[in-house]
Structures are given as structure tokens and as C-alpha cells.
Amino acid sequence: MNVALSFLEQEKQILDGILGPDRYDARIRPLGLNRTEDPAVITINFFLRGITEIDDIAMDYTVQLTFREQWKDERLKFDNMGGKVKYLVLVDPKKMWMPDLFFQNEREANLHNILLPNVFVRITPDGQVLYSIRSASASSASGRPFRIHFLFLPLDVHLLSVSLLTRSRVRDGWTTEDLVLRWKDSAPVQIVKNLTIPKFTLEEYSTDRCNSVTNTGEYGCLRVNFTFKREFSHHFTQIYVPSCLLVIASWVSSWLDGKEAVARMSLGVVSLLALVVQSSFVHASLPPLSYPTAIDVWMGACMTFAFLALLESVVVTHASQSEANWLLPQTELESVPFERERPSLGSQSRWSVNQPRWNGIRWPPERVDAACRSAFPACFAFFNVVYWCYFL
């Protein structure tokens, strides 16, 4: 027991010695390599614990990460008591100098304080300092190069980044002449196993530098880029399959008799309205956009096919009713007080005028239906080939 108390007392004496006001000034940055006036080197690495949300409307994302900084401060060297003291743990990091860094695209951040503040500072005998803190931050995805682009929605891939910069603290700021930021050589970014993200999948990540140059100098910047791919299965089962079935359902009217006006009209109108409602539902979950997306092209094409099927039903129904009005039974013709000739195959009559025409050729209603039964599926299949080849 006395040995343990003696060891803790030695640690206290070491901390009091290296952080004493007469020896250590937290306002002064550490010296460079080999105790020169070169810039201090800050090594950075992240541990990504989770991404809880990627908000399409607000165009931001929320990440939980453990942020670690490492640097060497010659003023914090101490005697390890013959290997007995491997490192010291500092409870209050405000007593020592720390690099003043910030996340460029951060909107809001929360530090984890349960059960205690999740802050860790470790000092080794050679003066190496490890600072680790856990936080949850909501970052913006609306500025370059972070912007979410929806052109290929729902087959889109997004590049979201976390950028870390040095802050201008003093008159001249911590420029690259004072601080140099660099990624850790091995595993600069670590990701928790079995990472799950609502609606997205993390495809890959990369690290780079993004130093910024202003009128006051050049400031260090590090960036980690995360590439996310949207989960397509939800949109396929909830949007693409139902809309495709609605388009096919609108074609059923061409198999109905031309005189069934109510059935044909009802089927076409219901299919078209259902597609309009589905398109409105899709856009309700997106921000206002100034350009069409892949799903806009799909829904627009589906509504076009449904509208053409409805238009075909109108033409065929009108032609069928006109034919029925003029091809009266002979008994009816005899009961008419004035003479009305039944149209012949070679005569020009009102009945033949009301038939649909294409390039001067008269198409009976049955022939129009027969042509649409083949033309609509063929055109829709061709559209699908072009659509999926372009957007996939």
C-alpha cells in the first residue's frame, strides 16, 4: 500500500515539475524537430464510430468520431524512474499547450460527458503527447467539395468530407511556419466494424491535404473524404416496381372492347393519377432542385406512357361509338322517314371520316388497339434499356 502511494506521489511530483509555472508556459508552442525553431508537427488520426444520419433535405450529416492528435513537446520530458513510469495521464488539458484546430464544415458539435468527459491526454517520458476526444458533430454537405448532388438519384454516389484546419489565434495566426498538420502514417482513419448507415453504404474513404492560403499566410488543413452510395433496394421495391406495374395496367385498356368507354377511361385515369401521387411522394423527401434527377426522368416517362394509353383509349372509344352510330341495322334504316344510305366500302362517308388516320390511311379501332398492344411494350422496353444503361 505504501509502495502504491509512493508511486502516485512520484507521478504527482513529476506533473508538478513539468507543468510548473516557472518551467512551462502554455501560451508558447513547442519547438520544432531537434529543438529548432521549425514548425511543430501535429499528427492526426480519426476513429469513426458511426454515422447516424445523412439528411437529404438539410444537406448535412451527423458523425460520431474519436479525434486524436499527437505532437512532441520537449518541455514535457521527464525521468521514467528506471522504466517504472511509462506515461502520465493528464486530467485537465488546459494546463498545457494544445494546437487550436477546428472542423471547417461543422454546424454543431456535442462532446460526450457521460459518465465523465471523454477526454484523454497521455504524456510519455520523451515528451510525446497524445490528445484524444470523442464528439458527435453535424457537418454541412452544401459547400464544395462536400455538396450532395442528386442528378443520379436514387443511383447516386456522394462524396462527404471532414476538414480540419488550424485557427488564427494570435495576430499572425498558427500558419504553416508554426504548425504543420499531417496524417498518421499507419491507419490515419479507423472505422468501427459493421458500420451501418441509414439509406447509404460506405464504399471507401481517402485522405488528403487542403492547405488554405489567405492574406495573413498559409494555414494547414487535412481532409478525409468518405464516399457513400445510396441503397437502391428501397427505391426499387417502393417506386420502380409499382410505377412499372401501373404503366402496364394502363395498357390493359387496349384489350378491352372499344365500346367499353367507362372501363377504358377509368383504367387510364386511375393509372395516371396514381403515378402523379407517387411522383409527389418522391419529391416530398427531397430539397427543391433546379435540375431533373434520374427518378424524375423515370416518373416522367411512366406518366407519359400512361397518358398515351389514355389518349389511345379516347381515340378508339370515339371511333367505335361513331362506327356504331352509322352502321345501323337495316330495319332501323327502313323506319327512318328520309332515305339514308348505308356506307359502302368504296364510298366516302361520315363513318369513314371519323376513323383514325395515319398518313392518309384509315385505321379501324381494332387495328389501332392491335398496334398499341405491341408498340407500347416495345417502346417502354427500349426506354428501360436506354435508362438503365445511362444511369447505372
Q: Across the strands, what pairs with 111?
A: 135
Q: Which domain holds residue 293?
A: 234-391
Domain containing 366 — which CATH number? 1.20.58.390
Find, among 209, 192, 189, 222, the residue nearest to 46 by Cα: 189
Supply the pLDDT for residue 390.
Answer: 93
Task: Identify whether residues 248 and 353 lie together within a single domain.
Answer: yes
Residues 343 and 286 in one domain: yes
The residues, ordered by sequence, that sit 6+ positions from 265 with a Cβ below 8 Å of its Cβ are: 310, 313, 314, 317
CB 41 within 8 A of CB 33: yes
Provide the sign of the torsion angle of the four alpha carbons 357, 358, 362, 365, taken in this order: negative
CA distance 97 to 23: 13
Query: Strands, DSSP E only, in 73-211?
Result: 88-90, 101-103, 106-111, 119-123, 128-140, 157-166, 179-183, 189-191, 200-209
pLDDT digits (tens, 9 = 90+) for 330-362: 444 444 454 444 444 444 444 444 555 545 556
Q: Are residues 217 and 269 in the same domain?
A: no
| pLDDT classification of 101: cutoffs 50, 70, 90 | confident
What torsion, rounded to 10 degrees, do the Cα atoms 165, 167, 168, 174 define? -70
Residue 146 burial (10 A CB sphere; 0-12, 13-18, 19+): buried
Q: 103 with 143, same domain?
A: yes
Task: Please tell me whether residues 10 and 57 are part of one structural domain.
Answer: yes
| Predicted TM-score (pTM) of this structure | 0.74
| Contact by Cβ (8 Å): 120, 133 | yes
Please state whether beta strands 88-90 and 119-123 pair in parallel, antiparallel, or not at all (unpaired).
antiparallel
- Tell me 312's DSSP state: H
Average pLDDT, the chain: 80
Domain count, the chain: 2
Identify whether residues 223 and 263 lie together within a single domain: no
Do 18 and 150 belong to one domain? yes
365 and 250 both lie in a single domain: yes
Mean pLDDT of 30-48: 82
Burial of 327 (0-12, 13-18, 19+ CB in 10 A): exposed
Same domain, 220 and 243: no
- Picking from 196, 231, 266, the residue at the C-terminal end of a domain is 231
Confidence of residue 4 (pLDDT cuts 50, 70, 90): low
Using a pLDDT cut of 90, give the percent of the chain over it.
Answer: 21
Distance CA 59, CA 361 (A): 56
Indicate the helix (H) or strand (E) that contains 70: strand 60-72
Given a cut of 80, is residue 371 above it in pLDDT? yes
Mean pLDDT of 28-32: 81
The string over 209-225, giving b where at least 16 C-beta atoms fall within 10 Å of a residue's C-beta and e elsewhere, is ebeeeeeeeebbbbbbb
Based on the fold, state whether residues 194 and 292 are members of the same structural domain: no
What is the rounded distance in angstroms from the CA atom of residue 295 to the CA atom of residue 235? 9
Which own/partner pairs from 308-311 qualify as long-range (CB within 8 Å, at least 24 positions apart)? 308/376, 309/247, 309/250, 309/251, 309/253, 309/254, 309/268, 309/271, 309/372, 309/376, 310/250, 310/253, 310/265, 310/268, 310/269, 310/271, 310/272
pLDDT over 70 for what percent of the chain? 82
Max CA pair span of the chain: 131
| 162's grid cell | 471532414
Going by the DSSP 8-state scheme, the letter that residue 239 receives in this structure is: I
- Contact, 141 vs 93, CB < 8 A? no
Identify whether residues 242 and 174 lie together within a single domain: no
The reported pLDDT for the residue numbered 32 is 72
CATH number at residue 52: 2.70.170.10
Residue recorded with cell 494544445: 98
Over the stretch 158-180, which tens digit does the pLDDT of each residue have? 888 888 877 654 444 578 888 88
Residues 90 and 133 in one domain: yes
Instruction: List Cβ neighbours of 135 (8 Å cut-off, separation of 6 or more).
Output: 64, 65, 67, 109, 110, 111, 112
- Nearest 5°: the CA angle 372, 375, 376 is 80
Q: Within a 10 A sphere around the Cβ of 16, how many other Cβ atoms?
A: 10
Q: Of 367, 210, 388, nearest to 297 (Cα)?
A: 388
Report, as an integer, the average pLDDT of 136-151.
Answer: 68
If DSSP codes are grouped into helix, strand and coil, which group holds residue 117?
A: coil
* Residues sharing a CB contact under 8 Å with residue 262, sequence separation 6 or more, in sequence order: none
